[in-house]
Amino acid sequence: MKRRMEEDNTVDGEKGEIVTHDNNLLEPLDQLAKEREEVAELVKKAKVGGGYNHVNYDIEQNIREIRAILKMNAEILDRCVKFMKTEGGGTTYFCRIMYEVVTTRARSNGTQIITHPKRTDNSFNTEPLSKLPQGLEDIILSSKMTGDKLSSFIDFDAIFKRSLIFHETVLEQFLPKLKEHLMSIQVCLGAIDSWVIQEPQKNITFLEETFQMKMEIPDNNVTLGRDYCVCIRHDPNEICLKCGNWYGGHTTVGQHRRCPHPTNSYFTCEHYQLLKQCTSKGKHETTFDLSKENERTRLNKFLAFIAID
């Protein structure tokens, strides 16, 4: 048995260590270093959307900055997710409610100043949230987020934590690329946040400060725009947007009020919020576009006028 083992450990008839005839085979640690360098080079060549010229390879600083970016991105996404109409992917649709115009209208008992909430949709390119840049996706496994409407988005916090097991040779190249991609996501989320929340909030703040009242944001199940009214209780002086007659001049038919003959329709109204009602003399009917600064100034002058009237 001993002789057999000695023969098995013999190469070319000489006893000693087992050797190989493959001169290209590296020592284990050398091979490990070589593989790391190749992966690092692959990451370095990865194309990320931001295209920033200056690259910082300081691992510690990049970790701190990535943590901050991830936190901010999560906060913005959390604010915007309730406005999503479709589940995320390459293109995601969002909905917002905005007060765009203030209207004054004459009534039998004076003048009403009202505003109609408008519900609009818009689409945004959210591909950065749902896809890793080519090159990064080849070296790390991505997982999806959990939660309503988020299952198409990548969990970048999990990717970041998973990447920390990389050797410094790879991590040094990987973190700047990940940070750059997260910054492109922040730009994407910033555009959504601006449209969905920031722009409507400007008008809401103006109205609340001007009329000293809290603005209402209708729920998603509230019908906005002109619609057949099914309100059980209604202002009898309200004017029908279909026929122009008073609410009290309509005939009750089930839940609706039928317009006077010959109009074959029903009382039509539009959801609005009453901002101010006054008993000023005269017939004031005009509109003010809140997106224009000169129109806001005109509205303030009008309010000052009816306060004196």
Residue 266 gets which letter from DSSP? B
User: What residue type is 237 in one-letter code?
Assistant: N
Q: Is residue 168 over pLDDT 90?
A: no
Query: Which stretch of 59-73, 137-151, 253-267 has the lowest confidence by average pLDDT?
Result: 253-267
Q: In one letter, which amino acid is 234?
A: H
3-state secondary structure 13-61: CEECCCCCCCCCCCCHHHHHHHHHHHHHHHHHCCCCCCCCCCCCCCHHH
Long-range contacts (CB closer than 8 Å, 24 or more residues apart) made by 31-34: 33/169
Strand partners, 278: 111
Q: Which residues contact 127 (CB under 8 A, 6 or more apart)?
A: 89, 90, 91
Beta pairing partners, 181: none
Token couple for 201: 């909030």
Amino acid letter, 216? E
The C-alpha atoms of residue 263 and residue 266 are separated, in whole angstroms, by: 8
Quick count: other Cβ atoms within 10 Å of Cβ 98? 20
Closest Cα partner for 302 from 165, 102, 73?
102
Provide, rounded to the nearest whole percent, the portion of the chain with pLDDT above 70.
67
* First-to-final CA distance of the chain: 119
Burial class (CB in 10 A: 0-12, 13-18, 19+), 206: middle
Q: What is the pLDDT of residues 286-305, one digit of tens each?
A: 899 999 999 999 999 988 88
Q: For residue 227, how far is the Cα from the chain centroid?
A: 29
CA distance 247 to 237: 6
- Grade residue 173 by pLDDT with cuts at 50, 70 and 90: confident
Q: Percentage of the chain surpassing pLDDT 90?
A: 34
Residues 6 or more apart in contact with residue 181 via CB below 8 angstroms: 48, 49, 50, 128, 132, 133, 136
Q: Could you report the per-residue pLDDT of 82-139, keeping only the tens digit for each? A: 899 877 668 999 999 899 999 887 766 677 888 988 889 999 999 999 988 877 887 8
- Report the range out of 146-150, 193-197, 213-217 with the highest average pLDDT: 193-197
Please give the pLDDT value at position 191: 96
Q: Are strands 226-228 and 110-125 parallel, antiparallel or unpaired?
A: unpaired
pTM over 0.85: no
Q: What's the rounded mean pLDDT across residues 192-212? A: 94
In angstroms, what CA-CA distances link 45 with 57, 127, 137, 186, 282? 14, 20, 13, 22, 72
Residue matched to tokens 């909030």: 201
What pLDDT is stored for residue 306 in this prediction? 78
pLDDT digits (tens, 9 = 90+) for 2-16: 444 444 444 454 554
> What CA–CA distance (Å, rounded) separates 121 from 83?
10
Q: Is the pLDDT of residue 20 over 80?
A: no
CB 271 within 8 A of CB 242: no
